[in-house]
Chains A and B, each alone.
Chain A
Amino acid sequence: MSKKIKFYKKESFSAILFLSPTLIIFSVFILLPVVFSFYLSFHDWNMFSADKQYVGFDNYSKMLTSAEFWRVLKNTAVYTFCTVPLSMAVALVIAFFLNKKIIGKKFLRTAFFTPVVISAVAAAVIWRWIYDPNFGLLNYVLGLIGIPAINWINNPTAAMSALIIMGVWKSLGSNMILYLAGLQGIPDHYYEAAEIDGAGGWHKFWRITVPLLGPTTFFILVISIIGSFQVFDIVYVLTYGGPLGATKVLVFYLYEHAFKFFNMGYASAAAYILFAIIFILTLLQTKFMRTHYTIK
């Protein structure tokens, strides 16, 4: 008996042992940085000088009054609010069809999912080639249907469109998988009942599928917005924020300030603004999402 008591007394000690690797990594590379970053956002520091100058809210006020910052925020918002709904709508349609009687489902699922696993850098290299104004595939195809060549990368408006098209292509697959999981949660007898009432395919889609996928849609929406606000890799390789800053997004701006100009304080403030945006979105999500999914 005493052996048993000793065994359970040791339980919290064991817990510490089991948790310690994770706790050490987390303390050094997450908790400490979060605090440190917050502290830095109130300082002016280039990382190499010994003294960090306390500047209060200067970094934040400088940023919030900088035209460039608002432009960057606008670019990020335009990218996000074009890419996310487009990607979700297409993903929903694909998932809806894939959930029906279709030959080669597995093959199709693989095909739509492939862009998700391809690295953003390699994907951006390919797309840069597809977008090439003189030799690119896209202008060739557009030319076939009579659309004049577009300078995808060097025209500010076109560059943002180019980024959005690629963003949709890249995110389609994971949204489709999430929608498929949601669709599989809708019981067949709902559709059967609607059929007895004489509902057609279109009707069933709008009256049963779309409303019952509400929680899934909301979830995908929030995680997609969070992900899109953090977009960086494809911007870096496809457009490098250009032309003339037309595709400069928040993380690119942060990267520039931190690792090109070494404005560590200012960049930390930018990181905290991004954090605030994402925090609000996550709160929205946890507040509205109390639905439990079942895994199949």
Chain B
Amino acid sequence: MNRKKQKISKFSKSLLLHILIYVGALLTVAPFIWMVLTSFKGMGEILSYPPTFFPEEFKFSNYIRAFQAASFGRFYFNTFLVAIACTLGQLVTCSMAAFAFARLKFKGRNALFMLFLGTMMIPGQVTMIPTFIILYWLGWIDTYWALIVPGLASAFGTFLMRQFFLTIPRELEDAAYIDGCSRFGVLWRIILPLSKPALATLAVFIFMFFFNDFLWPLIAINSEEMRTVQLGLAVFRDRYITEWDLLMAGSVTATLPIIMIFFFAQKYFIKGITLSGLKE
């Protein structure tokens, strides 16, 4: 009897725990779900009180109107161009630098590596102003160069790749060198194919960073046709501050690609967070 009671109390405890955590999870995703649902509602329904949960009629026209009101198509193109260029660029530069730090012996290697790590402490706001001025002098403000070139290398990526390369056994490389393979060949043909998980983690992280970045495009871009999705959305919001149907459609537009990547590549996001927690 007593044992049965204990079992029941254990069960109800577990049930309570499940209810609490599922309610918490629901509250966390609620703003996102609310945004998606609202993006299909008509303005009359949006402003109705009490609020409706599911749209009474699905209005895809909100999206069409949002894309007509602002050139979200163009913003998408700009964002994807910049994010893909920076991602590919960083995968190359970080892997190369990481190879030098992990495999090559040269004078001052450790000092240089420490300097690299040190730059991770510098907040972006410190370099932001002079970077803007330098790009202004180069005549690159309001061009793709301003968005891409400063993002073509990173200390974090170099560090992440180096740590991964250090875990790869050297025997394979030695064999390749004996067969006359060049260093670049070793990196390209042997190390990188073995580093796919690290490359994927880094790629997902860089892509997300540049897709969601706001402050730098805000500073570096003036003209409408150069805007990224996030910048476009912020300007859009200022213009249509009370037109929630358009704003929600715009917000969904600005989130959807990342959410989709997140669902398919979730483990890399999570690994990235854990690894960024291992920086020091």
Contact = CB atoms under 8 A, between A and B. Distances in A.
B34 A275 contact: no
Given A117-B258, A259-B219, A177 B92 contact: no
Interface in B196-226: 208, 211-212, 214-215, 218-219
A25 B277 contact: no
Contacts of B237: 125, 128, 237
Contact of A29 (B116, B150, B214): B150
Contacts of B244: 129, 135
A117 to B, nearest CB: 5
A133 to B, nearest CB: 12
A135 B25 contact: no
A137 B119 contact: no
A174 to B, nearest CB: 5
B31 A25 contact: no
Interface class of chain B by DSSP? helix
A19 B100 contact: yes
A236 B233 CA distance: 12
A31 B150 CA distance: 12
B130 A115 contact: no
A132 B89 CA distance: 42
A72 interface: no
A115 B280 contact: no
Given A11-B105, A19-B100, A112-B28, A40 B130 contact: yes
Nearest to B47: A135
Interface residues of A, number: 95
B2 interface: no
Contacts of A209: none
B17 A140 contact: no
B148 to A, nearest CB: 11
Given A119-B230, A236-B214, A259-B219, A12 B127 contact: no
Interface of B: 14, 17-18, 20-22, 24-26, 28-29, 31-32, 34-35, 38, 46-47, 49-51, 92-94, 96-97, 99-100, 104-107, 109, 112, 116, 119, 121-134, 136, 149-150, 152-153, 155, 158, 177, 183, 187, 208, 211-212, 214-215, 218-219, 229-230, 233-234, 237, 244, 247-248, 250-252, 254-255, 258-259, 262-263, 266, 269-270, 273-275, 277-278, 280
